[in-house]
Each structure stands twice: as structure tokens, then as C-alpha cells.
Amino acid sequence: MNYCASPLIYQRRLTREVTVGDPGNGGVIIGGTHPIVMQSMLTCDTMDTAASVQQTLDLVAVGCQLVRITAPTVKDAANLKNIVAEMRSRGCNVPIVADIHFKPEAAMEAAQWVEKVRINPGNYADSKKFAVREYSDEQYNAELRRIEERFTPLVLLCKKLNRAMRIGTNHGSLSDRIMNRYGDSPLGMVESALEFAQIARKHDYHNFVFSMKASNPKVAIECYRLLVARLDERGPDWNYPIHLGVTEAGDGEDGRIKSAIGIGSLLCDGLGDTIRVSLTEDSPNEIAVCRDLLDQVPLLVNRKLTVSEITASYDPFAYERRETPEIELSETARCGGEQPVRVVVTQATWDKVAPKISPKADVKPEAVYEDLNVAEIDPLKDFEINCDTQLVTVKDDALLPPVAAFRLLAAKLKRLGRNNPILLKDCLTFEPVPLPPNIALLRASINIGALLADGIGDAILVRGESGAGQSLRLAYNILQAAGCRSFKTDYVACPSCGRTLFNLQTVTARIKDRTQHLKGVKIAIMGCIVNGPGEMADADFGYVGGAPGKINLYVGKKAVKFNIPEGEAVERLVDLIREHGKWVDAGVEDVNAAVTT
């Protein structure tokens, strides 16, 4: 199976066109050769018409091309009529997307008023009670028939009204039926979406896009690759557009890094026709990151240089770290084998940050590039390596961009029968002037993150970020986002919407203030039950809105504390972490903090 035309040469996947609204009057066309569409979502209550209109106008003002609004009930869905009418009266014709979970009746109502409907196959008509049972083929098929009965009316209505649809599967929110047959896996996500697509196609309805979202960037990448490969296997008329996103990415640098790894790497492989960056911040911030991500793609891919195809060193559909021998990297660190992916810095960075780093710090340089015994290779040329214990990297000024260059290097090593440890670089050439920090962050995250998701890389070097301390912190943050190192608390936080039962930005900041020193602990912060417990995926603890002013606390996917007053909930979360032996008191100095010189 193939998920893209070539992992070395950029070629955008050609898809059928999906029309959302009137393209001649504010609508958009997703797919084909049209530019990739940027979208975001409202955070206010859908019943608050004035706030919904204002947030939509604010998004459009910064370039948002599709605006999604949650419709958790039929009442909310009916109010979309008022929101859309007010928008149109103000001359704003941006297409509106209704976000539906659990209630087909709400989808039927919403489809009358908006240009697009998003449904989640995991909870649209299937059950999700985390029940374990065996389904015989007969029982499984009976469930499929029941789903078809529930889903067909929406398909027919959307076809009649010329509405678009997104069949959006989320990791962790698969139905019990899918979970019991496929597990909480990329394959299960793909199969769930394809079942709904098959129903739509049965009625000759094709105006839909797919999405495969996960909070773990590596899982998201694997899911999207598998989806595209399965679509290609089914034939050329299954070339539906793809919506890209990393769900519950969080806020600040972490949210941007996770999104850059998951979305950026797929864009650089030619996948994706519309994107959303999900941040626990004000929605307009998402569009700025979307635009910056899209701007980087032409600069990070190989469009011109012809490269002879070679068998890839990695399985794109099942993550596995490339096998290498363990070698000495420096006097204090080894890399390769079962060692964590190490952080290398330049001598200039070392000179600036080393005097300020505590011996107990988790964020610290582990080797200096100029001191390494590293073979610098131009992967476009033939080369020889005489032993597997030689650290290798791509030579600066190689004509390929980093992702293609390191993929080619790994593939050629495999052809030579070598499995040398590889030092990844975020850039191979240097800009005439330093990159702005936000752009340096995105480029490094895309280049290094894409390769780590392929299982390539035993050490990393960030040089595109000109700030010494910032480049060190960025390297560690990329490793944490890619699931390669854990040096601080990991947060999974949804971006807020009209379903949210508390102020996500305020509460997330409060939880971080109390827990950010907890190394190796993952905490999910979910505004409502739709995004929890299922979509908390592999979080250790969860803070989930259960009712207005009330919080439920989870251990894994199991709710253990119910209806806690919001004012007490953060401290009760701390108590829960302590009960499970994961709590440590913060020291006098925060040993997880990175220098910022």
C-alpha cells in the first residue's frame, strides 16, 4: 500500500472537489487543485446568537474560510437558523459547519440551515459504553444495518439540499462494536469511517470529506496514511478530500509543536485539503498558525530534484523505531538502541547555556555537535560506511530538504545493510537573517517530527532557532510532543466550543500552575463528555466537565470522582494524583524548566 506518490518528491494528492456553500458568494471548494482551506470553531454557547455572530466575524476577519459551530441538541441546531440569518444580513457568507455528536435528530435539523455537517461515526448512531463483548458476523452486520437506517436520512437530506459533510473519526471515540473487533486503533478508525462512506455512496452522495484526528501526532499521522492507502485501494473514484488536524493539542508552544508534527508532516507528503489547528486559546489564534504552517510547506519539500526511488526504511502504517546499535555520544550520554533520542547543541549554544543549567535539570545539552565523531553524508551520492557504530547525519548544503534527505539516507543505509544511528537536523541551510521564533518552531517541528514519526532518528540538533536557550527547549519539546522523551507534564486539552462547561483557558492555566513539575504524567482537560473519557486516549488523569459548575475526575478512561464543585476540582485532582503515587512536591527550583537565554 502507498499513502503518497513518493516520500522523497512532493506531489499533492489529487482529490475530487467538495463544494461547501456557493463558491461564487463566499463558499469554498475543498480538494482538486484548489488552495488548502483554513477553518476554526466557535467557543461560545450556540444559543447565544450575538456571541456566535461576533466570534464568526472575528474569525472571518483573520482569514478563516470555514466556521464550525457545535450543535449538541436539536434546540442548538435550530438556533443555527438565527445565527446564519444574522450573518447573512451583515453580508458575511462564510460557510457554517454544524458539529454533531450523539444526536442524529440534531444533524437533521442543522442540515436545513448550514452548508456542512460534521458527524463522528463513533457516536452518531453506534453505542460507546466501553463494553466488552464479542460480535458474531451476523450480529455485526445487524448493527451495520441499524446504522444505515439511522444515517441514510441525513445522507438523503444533504444530497437534496446540496450540503457537504465531514465524516470525522476521532481516536478514543470509536464505538464499542468497532473497538471490540479492531481495538482503539488506526485500522478501527479507518474502518469506522469507510462504513459511513459506503452508505453515502450507496445513495450516490459524494460531497463529503474524511478526517482521522488524534491527540497523539504519531497516531494521527498513521491514521491518515492508512486512510489514504485504503481509499486508493478501493479505486480512483474514492479520492475524497482530507481534513487534517491534531485534536486536543493544547496551548502555547506545545499545541503548536504537536500540530506542526501531525499536520505539517502530512502536508509535506501531499496530503490534506483543509486544516484546523486546535488550540486551547482564542479561536483567531488558530488561523494564524494555519497560515504559517501552509506557508512553510513549499519551503520544506522537494519539488524539483529527481530522486531515484528506493525502498523506504520504515513502515508508514505501523510506528516502529528504527533499530540501531547503542553507541557513546558523549562522556555523559549514549544514543541508539534502547536509549532515548538525545539532544545535541552547537558549541555556540553550549557556551551560552551550560553555565546556567543546574546539574539536576532535565533540560540540558547531552552532546556538542563540533565534538562528535559523526560522518556527514550527502545522500544523493554513493557512499560507504564501514561499521554500524559510526554516527551519521546529512551533510549541510545537501540539495534535498531535511525530511527527504534523511529518509533517503536511512533508505540507503538499509540497502547497504547498515543500521547506523542517525543525528537529525532541523535545517541543512541557514537563512540570511534569523527566523522569527514562531516560524523556527514550526519548521523544526515539521522536519524533525516527521522523521521521528517515521521511526528515524537517535539524536536531534536544532539550529534554525537563533536563541540558544530557546533552541534547547524547543528540541526537548519536540521530543515530548513526538512521544520520544518525557521531561515534563504532558497535557491533552480540547480547544473549547459551545459544549464546554467551564472556561478552558483559565482552568488549563490553573491546572498547569499546580502540576507542571510532574515529570512523565499526562493530564487531560476536557470541557465536556463528548471529548472525554474516550478521546483522552492514554492520559493518566482526566479533568472533565460533567455539568455546569461540576467536574468529574478520571483515572485513565474511568470516572472515579463525580460532580465536584469547580472551585474545588483542581485541588481534588492533585489529591487524586497523590493517591495514585504520581505526585511529587515541586522543588525550590523547577528542574524541568528550560533556560531561555
Give phi and psi for 74, each to the nearest 5. -65, -35
Q: Tell me what pLDDT residue 429 has.
A: 94
Q: In what order do the strands lie in the sheet with 367-368?
A: 367-368, 342-345, 459-461, 423-425
% the chain with pLDDT above 70: 94
Q: What is the 3-state secondary structure (H, E, C) of 294-363?
A: HHHHHHHCCCCCCCCCCCCCCCCCCCCCCCCCCEECCCCCEECCCCCCEEEECHHHHHHHHHHCCCCCCC
- Report the b/e string of 84-100 with b at 16+ CB within 10 A: bebbeeeebbbbbbbbb
Q: Tell me what pLDDT residue 589 has.
A: 43
Confidence of residue 459 (pLDDT cuts 50, 70, 90): very high
Assess whether the region 36-300 and the region 490-579 belong to the same CATH fold. no
Alpha helices (H) along 124-283:
137-161, 176-182, 186-202, 217-234, 252-259, 265-268
490-579 is a CATH 3.50.50.60 domain = no
The predicted-structure confidence for 547-587, as pLDDT tens digits, reads as follows 888 899 989 878 898 999 999 999 999 999 999 999 998 86
Average pLDDT over all residues of the chain: 92
Per-residue pLDDT at 426 exceeds 60: yes
Q: Tell me what pLDDT residue 179 has.
A: 84
The answer, as to whether pTM is greater than 0.75, is: yes
Per-residue pLDDT at 130 exceeds 80: no
Sequential DSSP letters for 517-586: T-TT-EEEEESSGGGSSGGGTT-SEEEEEEETTEEEEEETTEEEEEEEEHHHHHHHHHHHHHHTT-----
Q: Tell me what pLDDT residue 592 has.
A: 45
Counted residue by residue, the chain has a size of 597
CA distance 403 to 208: 31
Report the chain's terminal Cα–Cα distance, integer Å: 47
Q: Which stretch of 164-173, 466-475, 496-505, 583-592 has the lowest confidence by average pLDDT?
A: 583-592
Specify whether the CB–CB gap between 59 and 512 falls below 8 A. Answer: no
CA distance 237 to 159: 18
Which residue, among 159, 169, 425, has the nearest Cα to 300 in the 3D structure? 425
- The amino acid present at 483, given as its one-letter code, is G
Q: Tell me what pLDDT residue 530 has.
A: 63
- Which cell numbers hold the place of 561? 470522582
The predicted-structure confidence for 388-399, as pLDDT tens digits, reads as follows 999 999 999 999
The predicted-structure confidence for 494-507, as pLDDT tens digits, reads as follows 776 766 768 888 88
Chain-centroid distance of CA 358 in Å reads 33
Confidence of residue 537 (pLDDT cuts 50, 70, 90): low
Average pLDDT over residues 244-260: 89
Q: Tell me what pLDDT residue 127 has.
A: 58
Instruction: Give the CA distances from residue 198 to residues 184, 195, 521, in Å, rounded to whole numbers and listed in that order.
Output: 21, 5, 40
Q: Tell me what pLDDT residue 597 has.
A: 42
Confidence of residue 490 (pLDDT cuts 50, 70, 90): confident
Confidence of residue 102 (pLDDT cuts 50, 70, 90): confident
Q: Tell me what pLDDT residue 128 has.
A: 56
- Which cell numbers hold the place of 569? 476540582
As a CATH number, domain 36-300 is 3.20.20.20
Torsion of CA 337, 339, 343, 345, to 10 degrees: -60
Burial of 325 (0-12, 13-18, 19+ CB in 10 A): middle
Q: Tell me what pLDDT residue 596 has.
A: 44
The predicted-structure confidence for 291-326, as pLDDT tens digits, reads as follows 999 999 999 999 989 898 888 999 999 999 999 999
The residues, any chain, with a CB within 8 Å of residue 202's CB and separated by 6 or more, are none
Give phi and psi for 24, each to the nearest 5. -85, -5
Query: What is the residue extent of each domain of the chain?
Result: 36-300, 327-481, 490-579
Per-residue pLDDT at 529 exceeds 90: no
CA distance 365 to 60: 43
Q: Which stretch of 88-92, 117-121, 153-157, 509-513 has the lowest confidence by average pLDDT?
A: 509-513
Confidence of residue 590 (pLDDT cuts 50, 70, 90): very low
Q: Tell me what pLDDT residue 302 has.
A: 94
3-state secondary structure of 416: coil
Q: Tell me what pLDDT residue 212 has.
A: 95
H or E element that contains 236: none
CA distance 488 to 366: 17
